Structures are given as C-alpha cells and as structure tokens.
C-alpha cells in the first residue's frame, strides 16, 4: 500500500462510523480491514499541553510607593 493511501486511511479512521467503507482501487474495506492493513488499531496522537498562561505570584515592580504620613515643609 502506498504511503499516501496509508495516510488517507489513517485520517479516515479518525472519523469513520460503523458501516463506512474505505475504497482502495475501487475495492471497499471496512474499518476492521483497514485497521488490519495498517497494522492494528491506530494510536491517537497526544499533543503535549503547553501552558501559555503566565502566572506571577508577585507584582513587585508594579507596586505603588508607600508614603509614611503627611510630609509638610516648614514655612520658615
């Protein structure tokens, strides 16, 4: 079987329903037959989840300056 046919059959298996058939050279094949031709049930690809949210525990550089009490200048 050509690699292109294998790739298309693999993609077809992801969405195939019970009585669907996949044709190779006009010959219909069931889900089970395609799985057997491809070497067993295909393994679903699992993509690694990358956390794109940035979590910061402190905002030290964004903190407002704290003033202690009122500052008054003497008018002398």
Query: pLDDT tens-digit profile of 19-68?
Result: 999 998 888 999 888 888 888 765 555 566 666 666 666 655 555 666 66
| Helix (H/G/I), strand (E/B), else coil: 64 | coil
For residue 73, is pLDDT > 70? no
Picking from 2, 76, 14, 5, the residue whose alpha carbon sits closest to that of residue 42 is 14
Q: Which two tokens stand for residue 8?
A: 């298309």
For residue 5, is pLDDT > 60? yes
pLDDT band at 8 (very low <50, low <70, confident <90, very high): very high
* C-beta atoms surrounding 65 within 10 Å: 4
pTM, two decimals, is 0.48
More confident residue, 70 or 37: 37
Mean pLDDT (whole number) for 3-23:
90
Tokens 């070497």: give the residue: 39
């Amino acid at each position: 079987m050509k690699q292109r046919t294998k790739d298309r059959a693999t993609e077809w298996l992801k969405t195939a329903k019970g009585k669907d058939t996949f044709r190779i050279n006009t010959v219909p094949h069931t889900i089970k037959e395609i799985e057997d031709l491809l070497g067993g049930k295909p393994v679903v690809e699992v993509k690694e989840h990358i956390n794109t949210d940035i979590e910061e525990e402190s905002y030290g550089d964004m903190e407002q300056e704290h003033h202690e009490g009122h500052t008054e200048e003497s008018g002398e």
